[in-house]
Amino acid sequence: MYSAYLDFLYRLGEFNIKLGLDTIRAMLSKIGNPHRHPRIIHIAGTNGKGSTLVTLERLLLDSGYTTGSTISPHLISFNERFRINGQSIDDERLNEAFRYVCQGCDINLDLSRPGSTDGELNPTFFEFALAMAFVLFDRSGVDFIILETGLGGRLDATNVIEHPLACVLTRIALDHQEYLGNTIEQITMEKLGILKKNTPVFVAPQQAMVTKTIQTYCKNNGYEFHGYPKDFRIEKQAGDLLFSFNRYKYQLDADSWEKKRVQVPSVGLLGDHQFENIMTALAVYFHVVPDEKQLCESAVGRTLGNLRWPGRMQYLGKGKKVLLDGAHNVSGMHALLTYLTAEYSGKRIFWALGWMKNKQFLSIFNSFDCTNITFIPMEIDNDRAETGESISLALIKKRLNVLPSRKTPSLVTSEMDSSLPDHDLLVVAGSLYLVGEFLEAWNRAGAPE
């Protein structure tokens, strides 16, 4: 994408949060309402949105459909936020979408300042990017659109859609309390804001309190609820993974429930926590895709076995000595630490750790034995990032093993030339911005993926 266009967008404020739908509705109205698509799947939740999205996206693509998907944040390139058929959009089409939104919404095109010429719209970074996404998907004529919420649900700009084909709630946990509420119940209610009449909702495994809140809300408001473990579940059987589903099937003479089972040898996404995301995506897939278009069991197994999602339990290097993960809250950190405990017990781990300001997840380290982990506080190149000094002090206060803080390029160089003290694994986690920064530096250095 043209650097001048990107500069304009970032001046709108990548972290400028404005909850509400008035601006995005006005923008989309001016450019012909490209968001009114008949097959939209809307995903909200705290953790697992991206993994659920990419699983569903891959299943649809392998079934012969075309897809348009949105993700945020991006790791390296702004283009990653817009996916057509599983691939990031190219610069040319992105530039066209940018100009189209600017012209349609009377936004100043001399790029000297952000904002609209009539002073009415003044969209945020996320609102502008979402309008571009709908333009791209409309022009590409995709069969399905998969939307990942940016923040919350009820007042998230993606909630401008009116008649989604399905809604999905991935695992809900405490995060972004400054915007969504201080309790898990308040945050859950914000996520529930994406639900629509006559649209089924698929709910991943949750804390008991969250499940109860969702079930009560759906019952009181007449929403069609599909959840774990009543409607779908997973179990390990003879070394394989067995996914089971209860699927509502309408027939002319009667309504009935149909059981479906899929047994697969393995999945491409690492960590047991990914099973719930894959299971939820499969439940949606079997609901929205007609029988005659659905993949057979062996094809589903191949699709799931080939799943990849950059920055989420992603190993780098020939010896797989670097592990990237996007864990950035208590729930995500718990999943990562559970994996490390199971796979690297007794091994020496270095953990490059950085986070955005106002993040509070260090309490999770109290629940795990971290004596084999040495932490490296990271100086992330982002104004919203916590400083390496503050991270170091917080880790020392927890009586954890801490090395001096580093900047990402320096850490990549030291890992590649083996100048770091001896270790079995380097983990990079705490923020997707850190993961993206590390991945970019790694690629720039020409290191093997």
Distance between CA 303 and CA 289 in Å, rounded? 16
Distance between CA 243 and CA 95 in Å, rounded? 42
More confident residue, 124 or 175: 124
Q: Which residue type occupies 272?
A: D
- pTM of the predicted structure, to 2 decimals: 0.92
Tell whether omega for the bond before 229 is within 30 degrees of 0, i.e. cis: yes
Beta strands in 296-355 (DSSP E): 314-316, 322-324, 349-353
Structure tokens at 423: 């270790």
> Is residue 401 within 8 Å of 421, Cβ to Cβ?
no
The answer, yes or no, to whether residue 298 has pLDDT greater than 50, is: yes
Residues of the chain with CATH 3.40.1190.10: 3-305
Q: What's the CATH number for 314-444?
A: 3.90.190.20
CA 178 vs. chain centroid, Å, equals: 20
> Is residue 181 within 8 Å of 189, Cβ to Cβ?
yes
Average pLDDT over residues 349-354: 98
Sheet with 225-227, side-by-side order of all strands: 87-88, 82-84, 67-70, 144-148, 40-44, 166-169, 201-203, 225-227
| pLDDT tens profile 13-35 | 655 566 789 999 999 999 999 99
The answer, yes or no, to whether residue 96 has pLDDT greater than 90, is: yes
- In sequence order, the 6+-apart residues with CB closer than 8 A to the CB of 74 are 80, 81, 436
Confidence of residue 251 (pLDDT cuts 50, 70, 90): very low
- Considering the chain, what percentage of its residues have pLDDT values greater than 90? 73
Residues of the chain with CATH 3.90.190.20: 314-444
Structure tokens at 150: 């940016």
CATH 3.20.20.140 holds for 3-305: no
What confidence score (pLDDT) does residue 361 get? 87
| pLDDT tens profile 148-185 | 998 778 889 999 999 999 999 999 987 655 556 568 89
Average pLDDT over residues 238-264: 71
Residue 177: phi and psi, rounded to 5, are -60, -25
Structure tokens at 73: 């944040």
